[in-house]
Structures are given as C-alpha cells and as structure tokens.
C-alpha cells in the first residue's frame, strides 16, 4: 500500500460550525498528525471555490486521501466524492466527519465542542487510511414495466409510461379495472363525478397499444433485480406466461375495513347501518332509501370507523372526513329536509380546498356531534315504537359534556382503509417491507416517497398509506417519471459498498441467507459457501455482523476501517483524560 | 341520564332570528371575553352548543341568556363570525315563547302577519270604543274648554272607566307574566332533579329582585356603560309613566292645568325625557348599525321601538294640545295614543320583547338560587 498522503479540510459552514468550533485550532492540531500532509479551514467547503481548493491541493501536494469535516454526509458526501474524482482520486478514498449536526449544532460549550470536533476528525483520518478504491457498477434496464393493481394509481402510472412509448404489463386480481374509485359516486371537494374520472382511465388503459392488461391475475414470484426482473403470471385459462421487465410499480391499494368487528355499531344486526361504500352504491343508483323502502328522515354519519382507535387501527384514513361532508351535499340534493348528524372524533381538512369545503358544508344545516375515541364509541340500539325513528344512537357528546340520544333512521359508517389480507404475499414477491399498519414502506418518507429500498421497485397510491385521489395520482406519475428516467438512461448504477464472502472462511451455515433483508445472498450447494448477488445487495451489513466466522465483510465498512475509526476517536481527548 | 336530541329544533330556532349557528367551532373566545359569564353560568359557547345539538330541555332550563346584556364583545372577537351575541338575543326570544303557556308568544315571534293583525285588531277596538261605545253612554267629544282654556279630556275619556280599564289590562298582563314566571321557575329551578333550594334561600335572596329591577347592576358590568345608562333612563321613564297611568290616573289625567313645579308636571316631563332619550339612542343605533347590539334587528325589535315611540309622541301631543286648548287635536291624539298603547301593553308586555322587564330580574334571582342550591 502506498504511503497515505491525507488532506484535511475543516468547513466553517458560515457561522454554523465556526461559532461553536475553533476551526483554525482544529485544522492546526490535525496538521501535526502523521500522514496529514495539509490541513485547511474554509468558510464554505461545498462552494465551488471550496471544492477547487481540494482539487488544487490534490494536484499540488500529491494527496491520495481526503477528509472533509463539515455537515452530514447525507447532504454533501456526494459533492466531495465527485470533487476528488475530478482530481483523479477514486471517490471512495474520501471520508467525511460530521462536525455540524453531531457537534456545533448540539453543543453550547465552545471548548468542548472544539475538542469533540477534533476527535471526530481524527477518527475520519484514521479510517481513511484504510479505505480502498471501489469501482462504480451499473446494470442494463429492460424497458418494460410491471404494474401491480388496476386502480386509479396503477392505471395513472401505466398510462404515463405507455404514453412515453414504453411497454407496461398491468396485472389486476379482480375481473375489472377501476379499483375503489370506480365504486364512488361523487368525489370531494369539487363534487365531480368519480365515473367521469375513472372511465377514461379504464378505456385508455384497456385500449392502449403499449399496455397489456391481465385481469383475474395475481403476482406470485418475482426473480431478478433492478432492470432485469422476471415473473410468471397465471392467466385464467391456466396458461402461464413469463414476463420480463426492468421496473415494478406496486399499486395494490387498500380495502375497506369490516365494521362488524365493532360491536357498538351493530353492523349486520341493523339493516340500516351501512358502510360508506354501500352508501356510495345507493347514491350511484340515485335514491336514498331505508331497507323498508322509506326515505330516511334522520341520517347519522359516523366518522373514524376503525380509524384512530388502538383497538382497530391507530392511523387516520385521511379521506373519510371529507367524504362524510360530501354526503351532506348528496343527501341534501335528494332529501332537502332530512336531518343530518355528523358524528365525528376530529374534523380533519388538511388538503387543498378541504377547509373551504368544510366551511361550505357547515352552512348546510347539519348537526355536528363530537365523540371521544379513547373514552367510548357511540352505541346504536333499536328505537321504541313511539320514538318515531328507526334507531337510537347513544353517545357522550364531547363539546357539551352531555350524554345524548340521537334519533336516526339510517347510519352511514365511514369505514377505515386497511391493507388487503394477502398483502404479505405481494410484499414477499417484490421484496419490499411493511410498516406496523401493513403499509408498504418507502425509501425515505420525505425525500424519496415512491421508491423502496429495493432498486427498481416503486410503491404508489394507498398501499403506501391512505390517501385521496390527487395524492395517489401524483405518486403514480412521479413513480412513472422515475422509471422513465432509468429506461432513458438504459442502465442504472448499483450499490458499490456491497458485502463479499471470503470463501475460505465460510462454513456454509447459511445464517447470512436467513438474515439478508434483500434476498441478496444465496447458498452455492456445489461449493458449500454463500454467494452475494451484488446487484441486490444494499450493503446494510446485517450479514457481516451475523456471520459467525467473519467470512463476510462489507466493502467500505471493513473491520479494519471501523476499528481504525474507533481508535481514532479514542486517541485524543481520552488519552488526555 | 341521557337526553334526546330534537333535530327539528333548529328549524324552529331559525324563526326566532338565529342565523348561521353552525359557524361556531367552539373555541370559547366568546365565553372568555364576556364580562358577565362566570363559573357555573358560562355562556355564550355552551348555549350555542345546546342550540346546535337541539337539546331542547337543556335550553329551556337555561337561565344564562337572560344574564347577557348584549354588549357585543363576543361577536366582535368571534374568529368565525358566528355572532354569539345575536344567538343569545335569539335565544331570549325563544325562551320567552317557551315560558308562555298560551302559545301566543311563539305565534307573535314567528309570524309578522299574526302579530300585526292582532295589533291592528286591538287598535280598531280602541277606536271603536272612543267613537261608538263611549259616546253611546254619553261620554263624548266636546269643543268646550275649561275656564283656564284647557281641553275637557274627561268628557270623552272618563277617568273611572279608563282607570277601571287600566286595572283590568294590568291584571291580565300581570297574571300572564306571573304564570309565565312560575313556568320559568319550574323549568330553571324546580325541574332540576339533582339539586334543591331551601325556602330560606328563596326568602333571603328575594330583595335582589327589586334591586335588579331598579338598578340593573349586571348590565352595568358590561364594558360599554353607555347602554346601561340609556336603558336605565328608558326603563325609569317607562316605570314612572306606568305607575302614574295605572295607579294615579285621577291625579295624572286632570283637566286643570297645574303649575310646572307640580310633581304631576315634572314627573311626566322626566318620564317623557327618559323614554325619548332611550328610544333615540336605540333607533339611531339600529339605523347606523355601528354597534353590534344594533346590527341585527328582528321584526319584534322594530315593532317594540315603533310602538313605544308612537305612544310617547302621541302622549306629548295630548299634553301640548290639552294645555293649549285644542279640543279636536287632543281628542284625535288621545285616541291614537290609546290605539298604540293598548296593543303594545297587551301584546308586547306579556308575549314579546317587553316581557324581559320581568324575566331579567327573575333570572338574576334564579341564578342566585342556583348558586345556593344543594344536591338532593
């Protein structure tokens, strides 16, 4: 190994770092360490002049390793890797010390913060000495895409990709396209027809030359990796077709909650206690009638059925409040003098136009009654003969503090959206993970909401979490754009910092095969050793820490590198103490 | 025990002047800003909630609407423009109708035609009495003047008959009001199954009634004191006039022109001033709509002001014409005076806006009783 010649650069980050860390002193101290050729401080290392400074020093001082002490590597690691690469050094011969988030922002004592900065930088210096050059790799991308689910999200994504001239296979487990939106009458907050939204999508999808629709079809197994997936789908006539595709969009949606689980509401016992979807069907048919064929005089709409309740689902379904307000407009159009009760837990109007829609609806002569989810749910019982109504809802009204009885003829339950029963099969097939609420987990909740930790697999619509039509369609089109970008590139970069197996040390216990969250490790029966599929591997390191013989190491996270880092962090202040 | 909602109550309340009652989202700013709202007697928010939900029995047993004097601070600070002040005003109208066992109050409040027809009916009765009935008994208009040059009022409006009529009217009105107050007491105090109030408390707190009637100390707690003052002038003028007309008519309705320093003259002048002052403030206020309390006028508000103003103006005219010896003008203005006064007393006092003269002091009394109530 050639002698390390390290350049260290301490960033001020304006005053973000420099006000709490004595950057000059830090640079001065580290310049005295062995292998450190040069140590500098600069106001903004990430700026063009900052990067130029590094590049110039690499050339001028013949540096072969670089350490930048600045912000989180999440923000600028790539910036500096690109800078050192520009100067002719392998980008992995670089290390970043985070002295902002981990130091200057969280401390109040300048002396101690300065000493901590020094520790962090020395750790990076010790680590970078053992860095090895790694080579970037990429795989080709099959231009076809598999979309799982023929609801509005799946179709929106399929159409976006197909319209760009690329092939789409769309599989739908039921016998028709449209999903939940096809079951709705009007949509909020514009009260536009759901059919007018969904029908052009269905026709467009069915007739598109680039979209191949497979109805009554479910996904079983998917093999391969980003850019090169394979799956066999079973058609209705027991005919198996093998499909090849480069990317996957999961748009499997959610299903309505079964309210018969909630004893208090008596769904199933009372014929006129119906779910929101049953009411949508009634509205589509054009008349609101009780099971006895009468027009209801008093209609109650119960919110949060199965939502925001520890006993059922802790999360908010997001669409029910506005849908419940939408019913007010639809009921008023049919039955102008009916009494409408909105029995809610909290009114949530978070979306664009929702608050305005709520304000508009409050003028529709409705009675809002609030219940406390944590205390007790409203209870529905039969009315007596002389009550002049069908049922009575007994509840503790939160805003008045009164125990009240509400006379009703029809009750609409705003049912929660929950995961499909067989969601785990889909999840296993495409290699994504589920959160506690059985929603698909995105790669990053804010910055990468449609991708997953598995390359080439995207999640859109309600399977990622309850959402309304605009959000679902936005996600679908976003995922389509991401996929079209990789198709246009023709290839996609894959992770470099993967695990690798030292076959001489591997004992064939297959612990790594079991712990790998990405299915990237397989067992070679012939050689009796584990093998890593470097395209699937994300370099998480789980296998490395589980391996009993130390046969697996992660590139860029070798034992040597990590031990050197620990030694480095202990060397300065701890030695002094 | 749970209470049954009456979902149709909202339709009824709208007719008492309640506007957009769903605008309120229960932040409680109104209750916080109100200088009169106090622990145990919180308003307006709580009452708005009862209204929104249609909790009829709870509303009917509420004393709080009578504790509000409509300064308008709640309406000014309401972030949702829900207008809590006017909601409380509407509730007072509604409560007046629930206390009234005859059902007429509700009719008058909710139907302008009905109210105007009855006013007209009584006015016509009065005119017929003076033009047909009284002359047939020999009491008729005469152009003859008194030796001093005054008009002989007693010739067409004989004191014993007018006085007897006054007393009959007063008795009718009083019995209606008293029976309604008993109903109010029943709803607010008696019906409450959880608490009881001892007889001693009833007696001890009774003095409050007179004090509250005479001074209206609650009203004076509103931040804006001007309306307490103008209302006090109006109220004192009205009370003095009422007493002298009903109890001291022979002393008040004289043909002799008494000197200006005689109590008959200056009491009359003070009462007239008090009434005119209060009325002017209210009428100008309702036209300018600058203050919250005058921004929304129910038909009953205007009828009350118009009738009282007409009564005062015709009263002034009678006085001027009488002492200046103008018999025909006096005769006409006397009939006009009575044609406004009689329906005003018979309709407005027991059934409409004016009933508050009884309900407000009693509400303060009942509030005090509630404060001293003990659990059963």
What would the pLDDT profile of A322-358 be if each residue is shown by its tens digit?
999 999 999 999 999 999 999 999 999 999 999 999 9
For chain B, report the end-to-end CA distance as a whole number of angstroms.
16
Looking at B44, B78, B99, the residue that finishes a domain is: B99
Report whether pLDDT(A510) > 90: yes
pLDDT at A575: 52
Residue A437: pLDDT above 90?
A: yes
| Residue B296, pLDDT score | 86
Chain B nearest CA to A388, separation (Å): 12
Q: Does B262 lie in the same domain as B181?
A: yes
Same domain assignment for residues A403 and A296: yes
Nearest Cα neighbor of B339 from B131, B189, B198 is: B131
Q: What distance in Å separates the CA atoms of residue A387 and residue A403, rounded to the nearest whole number?
A: 18
Report the Cα–Cα distance between both ends of chain A, in Å, rounded: 34
CATH code, A538: 3.30.70.20
Total tally of structural domains belonging to chain A: 4
Judge: B3–A405 Cβ closer than 8 Å, yes or no: yes
Q: CB of B23 within 8 Å of any CB in chain A? A: yes
pLDDT tens for residues A123-179? Answer: 999 999 999 999 988 999 999 999 999 999 999 999 999 999 999 999 999 999 999
Is B361 at the interface with chain A, CB within 8 A? Answer: no
Domain assignment present for B1: no
Q: Is B15 on the interface with A (CB under 8 A)?
A: no
SS3 at position B28? coil
Q: At residue A233, does pLDDT exceed 50?
A: yes
Q: Could you give the CA distance from residue A205 to residue A168 in angstroms, rounded to a whole number?
A: 10
Q: Among the three residues A134, A160, A193, which one is the final residue of a domain in this structure? A: A134
Residue A405: is its pLDDT beyond 50? yes
Q: Answer whether residue A562 shows pLDDT above 70.
A: yes
Same domain membership, residue A473 and residue A514: no
Predicted local distance difference test score (pLDDT) of residue A576 = 45
- Whole-number CA gyration radius for chain A: 30
Mutate to test the interface with A, among B5, B43, B56 (most CBs of A within 10 A): B5
A47 and A154 both lie in a single domain: no
Taking CB atoms and an 8 Å limit, are B55 and A404 in contact across chains? yes
> What are the residues facing A212 on neighbouring strands?
A169
> How far away is chain B from the Cα of A295, in angstroms, using its nearest Cα?
16
Task: Provide the pairing of β-strand A137-140 with A491-494.
Answer: antiparallel
Compare all CA atoms of chain B with the CA of A369 and give the residue at the minimum distance.
Answer: B53
Mean pLDDT taken over chain A: 93
Q: Percent of chain A at pLDDT above 90?
A: 85
pLDDT digits 0-9 by tens, B261-289: 888 889 999 999 999 999 999 999 999 98
Kindly state whether residues B326 and B367 are assigned to the same domain: yes
Cβ contacts of residue B174 below 8 Å, gap of 6+?
Answer: none
Q: Do B4 and A405 touch (CB under 8 A)?
A: yes
How far apart are the CA of B213 and the nearest CA of chain A, in angstroms?
Answer: 32
Which residues of B fall within a CB distance of 8 Å from A408?
A: none
User: Is there a domain that residue A560 lies in?
Assistant: no
In this complex, which of B5, B23, B26 lies closest to A362 when CB atoms are compared?
B23
The verdict on A27 and A118 lying in the same domain is yes
Check which CATH number belongs to the domain holding A44 and give it: 3.40.50
A175/A230 same-domain check: yes
User: Over 80: is that where the pLDDT of A574 sits?
Assistant: no
User: Over the stretch A496-506, which tens digit does the pLDDT of each residue have?
Assistant: 889 999 999 99
How far apart CA A378 and CA A439 sit, in angstroms, is 28
> A316 and A182 in one domain?
no
Residue A246 falls within a domain, yes or no?
A: yes
CA distance B96 to chain A (A): 23
Contact A17, A99 (CB under 8 A): yes
Examine residue B3 and state whether it is found in any structural domain, yes or no. Answer: no
Query: Measured between alpha carbons, how far is residue A419 from residues A416, A425, B4, B27, B93 in Å?
Result: 10, 12, 38, 37, 54
Residue with tokens 């005062």: B312
Contact B24, B74 (CB under 8 A): no
Query: Does residue B159 share a domain with residue B18?
Result: no
Closest by CA position to A539, among listed A559, A524, A553 = A553
Nearest to A263 by CA among A300, A303, A311: A311
Same domain, B239 and B332: yes
The answer to whether residues A224 and A175 belong to one domain is yes
Asked whether residue B209 is assigned to any structural domain, the reply reads yes
End of a domain among A134, A158, A184?
Answer: A134
> Does residue B144 sit in the same domain as residue B72?
no
Are residues A425 and A484 both part of a single domain?
Answer: yes
Does one domain contain both A105 and A168? no
Residue A520 within a domain:
yes
Domain end: A416, A436, A471, which one?
A416
Dist CA A300 CA A296 (whole Å): 10
Do A155 and A47 share a structural domain? no
Collect the ranges in chain B with pLDDT lower than 70: 1
Residue A397: its chain B contacts at CB < 8 A? 53
CA B103 to chain A, closest CA, distance in angstroms equals: 24
What domain range is B17 assigned to? 9-99
- The answer to whether B256 contacts chain A (CB < 8 Å) is no
In this structure, are A410 and A292 located in the same domain? Answer: yes
B136 touches chain A (CB under 8 A): no
A83: in domain: yes
pLDDT above 80 for A573 = no
Number of domains in chain B: 2
My answer on whether B81 and B114 are in the same domain is no
The residue of chain A with its CA nearest to that of B51 is: A367
CB atoms within 10 A of CB A163: 15
B182-211: per-residue pLDDT in tens? 999 999 999 887 888 889 999 998 888 888
Length of chain B (residues): 376
B-chain residue closest to A398, CA distance: B49
Task: Judge if B17 and B150 occupy the same domain.
Answer: no
Q: Kindly state whether residues A250 and A260 are assigned to the same domain.
A: no
The verdict on a CB contact (< 8 Å) between A403 and B3 is yes
In this complex, do A365 and B26 lie within 8 Å of one another by their Cβ atoms? no
Residue B2 domain-assigned?
no
CB-defined contacts A:B, below 8 A: 53
pLDDT of residue B365: 93
Structure confidence at residue A391 as a pLDDT band (50, 70, 90): very high
Closest chain A C-alpha to B49 CA, distance in angstroms: 6
* Residue A567 domain-assigned (yes or no): no
Domain boundary among B49, B79, B99: B99
Where in the sequence is the domain holding A153, given as residue range(s)? 145-254+419-492
Nearest CA in chain A to B10: A365
A547 vs A220, higher pLDDT: A547
pLDDT of residue A577: 40
B194 contacts chain A (CB < 8 A): no
HSE-up of residue B77 (Cα within 13 Å, Cβ side): 14
B178 and B194 together in one domain: yes
Q: Which CATH number goes with the domain that contains B47?
A: 1.10.1060.10
Q: Do A405 and B23 touch (CB under 8 A)?
A: no
Q: Are B233 and B288 members of one domain?
A: yes
pLDDT at A336: 93
Would you call A368 an interface residue with chain B, using a CB distance cutoff of 8 Å?
Answer: yes
* Residue A416 pLDDT exceeds 90: yes
Q: Mutation test of the interface with chain B: which of A355, A361, A402, A409, choosing the one with the most B Cβ atoms within 10 A?
A: A402
Together in a domain, B132 and B145: yes
Contact status of A363 with chain B (Cβ, < 8 Å): yes
User: How far does A274 lie from chain B, in Å, by closest CA?
Assistant: 21
How distant is the Cα of A333 from the closest Cα of chain B, in angstroms?
18
Comparing alpha-carbon positions, the chain A residue that sits nearest to B52 is A367
d(CA A536, CA A520): 5
B314 vs B338: CA distance, rounded Å: 9
Q: Give the model's pLDDT for residue B328.
A: 94
**Using the 8-state DSSP alphabet, how is residue A439 labeled?**
P
Are B275 and B365 in a shared domain? yes
Q: Is residue A568 part of a domain?
A: no
Task: Tell me, yes or no, whether B194 lies in a domain.
Answer: yes
Give the gap in angstroms from C-alpha B98 to the nearest C-alpha of chain A.
Answer: 22
Q: Is residue A139 part of a domain?
A: no
* Displacement of CA B362 from its chain's centroid (Å): 14
Domain containing residue A208: CATH number: 3.50.50.60
Given an 8 Å threshold on Cβ–Cβ distance, is B55 in contact with A363?
no
Is the residue at A228 inside a domain? yes
pLDDT over 70 (residue A53): yes
- Tell me which of B52, B68, B99 is where a domain ends: B99
The predicted structure's pLDDT at residue B1: 66
Do residue B220 and residue B259 come from a single domain?
yes
Is the pTM here over 0.90, yes or no?
Answer: no
Asked if B5 and A405 come within 8 Å (Cβ–Cβ), the reply is yes
């Amino acid at each position: 190994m050639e002698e390390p010649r390290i350049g260290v650069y301490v960033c001020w980050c304006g005053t973000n770092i420099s006000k709490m860390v004595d950057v000059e002193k830090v640079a001065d101290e580290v310049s005295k360490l062995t292998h450190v050729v040069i140590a500098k401080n600069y106001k903004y290392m990430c700026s063009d002049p900052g990067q130029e400074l590094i590049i110039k020093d690499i050339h001028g001082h013949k540096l072969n390793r670089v350490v930048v002490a600045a912000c989180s590597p999440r923000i600028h690691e790539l910036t500096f890797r690109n800078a050192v690469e520009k100067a002719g050094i392998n980008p992995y011969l670089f290390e970043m010390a985070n002295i902002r988030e981990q130091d200057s922002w969280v401390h109040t004592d300048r002396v101690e913060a300065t000493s901590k900065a020094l520790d962090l930088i020395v750790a990076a210096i010790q680590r970078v000495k053992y860095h090895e050059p790694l080579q970037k790799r990429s795989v080709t991308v099959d231009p076809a895409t598999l979309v799982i689910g023929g609801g509005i999200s799946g179709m929106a994504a399929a159409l976006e990709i197909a319209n760009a001239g690329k092939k789409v296979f769309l599989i739908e487990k039921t016998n028709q396209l449209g999903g939940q939106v096809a079951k709705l009458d009007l949509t909020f907050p514009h009260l536009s027809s759901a059919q007018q939204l969904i029908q052009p999508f269905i026709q467009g999808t069915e007739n598109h030359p680039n979209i191949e629709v497979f109805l009554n079809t479910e996904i079983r197994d998917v093999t391969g990796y980003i850019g090169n997936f394979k799956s066999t789908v079973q058609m209705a006539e027991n005919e198996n077709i093998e499909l090849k595709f480069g990317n996957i969009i999961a748009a499997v949606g959610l299903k309505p909650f079964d309210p018969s689980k909630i004893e208090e509401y008596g769904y199933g016992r009372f014929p006129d206690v119906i779910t929101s979807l049953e009411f949508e069907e009634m509205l589509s048919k054009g008349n609101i009638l009780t099971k006895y064929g009468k027009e209801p005089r008093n209609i109650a709409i119960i919110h949060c059925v199965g939502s925001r309740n520890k006993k059922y689902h802790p999360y908010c379904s997001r669409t029910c409040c506005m849908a419940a307000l939408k019913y007010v407009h639809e009921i008023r159009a049919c039955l102008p003098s009916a009494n409408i009760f909105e029995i809610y837990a909290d009114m949530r109007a978070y979306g664009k136009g929702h608050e305005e829609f709520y304000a508009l609806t409050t003028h529709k002569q409705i009675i809002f009654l609030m219940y406390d989810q944590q205390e007790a749910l409203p209870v529905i019982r039969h009315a007596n003969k002389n009550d002049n109504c069908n049922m009575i809802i007994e509840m503790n009204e939160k805003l008045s503090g009164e125990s009240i009885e509400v006379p009703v003829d029809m009750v609409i339950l705003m049912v929660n959206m929950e995961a499909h029963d067989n969601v785990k099969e889909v999840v296993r097939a495409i290699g994504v993970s589920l959160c506690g609420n059985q929603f698909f987990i995105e790669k990053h909740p804010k910055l990468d909401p449609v991708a997953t930790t598995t390359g080439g697999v995207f999640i859109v619509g309600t399977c990622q979490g309850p959402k309304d039509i605009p959000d679902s369609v936005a996600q679908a089109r976003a995922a389509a754009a991401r996929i079209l970008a990789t198709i246009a590139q023709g290839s996609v970069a894959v992770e470099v910092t993967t695990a690798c197996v030292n076959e001489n040390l591997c004992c064939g216990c297959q612990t790594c095969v079991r712990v790998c969250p990405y299915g990237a490790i397989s067992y070679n029966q012939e050689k009796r050793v584990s093998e890593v599929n470097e395209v699937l591997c994300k370099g998480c390191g789980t296998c490395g820490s589980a391996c009993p013989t130390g046969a697996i190491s992660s590139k860029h996270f070798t034992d040597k590198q990590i031990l050197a880092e620990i030694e480095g962090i202990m060397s300065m202040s701890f030695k002094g103490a | 025990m749970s209470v049954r909602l009456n979902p149709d109550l909202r339709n009824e309340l709208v007719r008492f002047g309640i506007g957009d009652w769903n605008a309120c989202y229960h932040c409680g700013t109104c209750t916080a800003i109100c200088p009169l709202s106090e622990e145990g007697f919180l308003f307006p928010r709580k009452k708005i909630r009862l209204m929104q939900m249609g909790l009829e029995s709870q509303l009917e047993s509420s004393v709080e609407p009578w504790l509000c004097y409509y300064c308008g601070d709640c309406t000014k600070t309401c972030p949702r423009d829900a207008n809590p002040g006017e909601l409380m005003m509407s509730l007072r109208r509604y409560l007046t109708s629930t206390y009234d066992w005859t059902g007429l109050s509700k009719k008058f409040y909710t139907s302008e035609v009905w109210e105007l027809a009855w006013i007209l009916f009584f006015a016509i009765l009065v005119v017929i009495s003076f033009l047909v009935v009284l002359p047939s008994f020999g009491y008729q208009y005469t152009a003859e003047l008194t030796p001093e040059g005054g008009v002989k009022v007693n010739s067409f409006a004989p004191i014993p008959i007018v006085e007897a009529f006054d007393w009959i009217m007063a008795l009718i009105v009083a019995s209606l009001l008293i029976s309604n107050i008993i109903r109010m007491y029943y709803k607010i105090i008696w019906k409450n199954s959880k608490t009881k109030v001892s007889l001693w408390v009833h007696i001890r707190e009774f003095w409050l009634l007179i004090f509250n009637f005479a001074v209206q100390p609650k009203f004076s707690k509103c931040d804006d004191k001007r309306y307490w003052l103008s209302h006090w002038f109006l109220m004192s003028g009205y009370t003095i006039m009422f007493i002298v007309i009903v109890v001291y008519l022979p002393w008040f309705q004289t043909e002799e022109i008494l000197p200006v320093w005689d109590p008959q003259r200056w009491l009359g002048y003070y009462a007239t001033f008090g009434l005119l002052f209060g009325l002017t403030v209210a009428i100008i206020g309702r036209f300018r709509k600058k203050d919250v309390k005058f921004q929304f006028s129910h038909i009953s508000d205007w009828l009350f002001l118009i009738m009282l103003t007409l009564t005062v103006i015709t009263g002034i005219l009678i006085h001027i014409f009488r002492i200046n010896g103008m018999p025909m003008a006096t005769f006409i203005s006397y009939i006009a005076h009575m044609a406004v006064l009689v329906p005003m007393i018979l309709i407005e006092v027991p059934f409409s806006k004016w009933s508050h003269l009884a309900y407000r002091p009693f509400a303060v009394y009942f509030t005090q009783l509630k404060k001293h109530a003990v659990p059963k």
